[in-house]
Amino acid sequence: MDLFTRSPTAYENLKSVLRLPSGRLLQRYKNYVNQEPGIVPENLHWMLLEADRIKLSARGRKGFIVFDEVQIQVNLVLAI
């Protein structure tokens, strides 16, 4: 997902060598949960339901949530 969001072209090149999900499917997964600032109880509830649905063990339910607060810059050009 990280590679796809950073560089769809690089992801497509890698996809020609490896069996990977389509970009369209990744886009759907990325946009599945409504993202709002702060802690959203509905998202935590959704995560609990998904863990129950796939029968995730107690050990697999431990983790953390990371919020990316990077601001997108307009007309940003990266020289490589």
| Domain assignment present for 42 | yes
Q: Could you tell me the residue range of the domain that residue 9 belongs to?
A: 2-61
Q: How far apart are CA 74 and CA 79, in angstroms?
A: 16
pLDDT at position 52: 92
Residue 43: inside a domain, yes or no? yes
Q: Are 43 and 33 within 8 A, CB to CB? A: yes
Does 66 reside within a domain? Answer: no
* Contact between 7 and 15 (Cβ < 8 Å): no
Q: Please give the tally of structural domains in the chain.
A: 1
Which positions ≥6 away from 60 have C-beta within 8 Å?
51
**Structural domain includes residue 73:** no
18 lies in a domain?
yes
- Give a yes or no: residue 30 inside a domain: yes
pTM to 2 decimals?
Answer: 0.40
Note whether residue 79 is domain-resident.
Answer: no
Span 4-47, pLDDT tens digits: 888 888 988 998 899 888 888 887 777 665 566 777 788 788 88
